[in-house]
Amino acid sequence: MTVIIGIDPHKRLHGACAIDETEREVAQLQVTAGECQLEELLQWAAPFATRRWAIESAGGLGYLLAQQLISVGECVVDVPATLASRSGRWVRAVRTRTTRTTRERLRSRRYAHRPSRR
């Protein structure tokens, strides 16, 4: 099964949501931003043999995580933050917001083919 794992990075927490080819959510996770974030995310994503990471603002708040994933050979693409602001589906709860907006961003397949510039 091929999945796209969307990451919504924040200063303290990163939200992750995995969707399959049919755009169905198959898993979600929140990790604390810090020194263990890479290990936690890779362990969570291990069941998904074929995966692509889509990180919102990989040149901003998501920069460190994007570079960590690239350094271990993962496929990473940048999802511009402006795409998130266009969705208009922001809700107040962090967990719900992360899941819904990440899912909306990932459904916009036109950004899934763009590699990170860094």
Residue 44 CA from chain centroid, whole number:
13
Q: Which residues contact 24 (CB under 8 A, 6 or more apart)?
A: none
For the segment 6-65, what is each residue's pLDDT rounded down to a tens digit?
999 999 999 999 999 998 999 999 999 999 999 999 999 999 999 999 999 888 989 999
Tell me the fold of 2-111: Nucleotidyltransferase; domain 5 (3.30.420)
Q: What distances in angstroms separate CA 47 from CA 16, 18, 41, 44, 57, one per listed residue?
A: 15, 11, 11, 7, 25
pTM of the model: 0.72
Q: Does position 116 have pLDDT exceeding 90, yes or no?
A: no
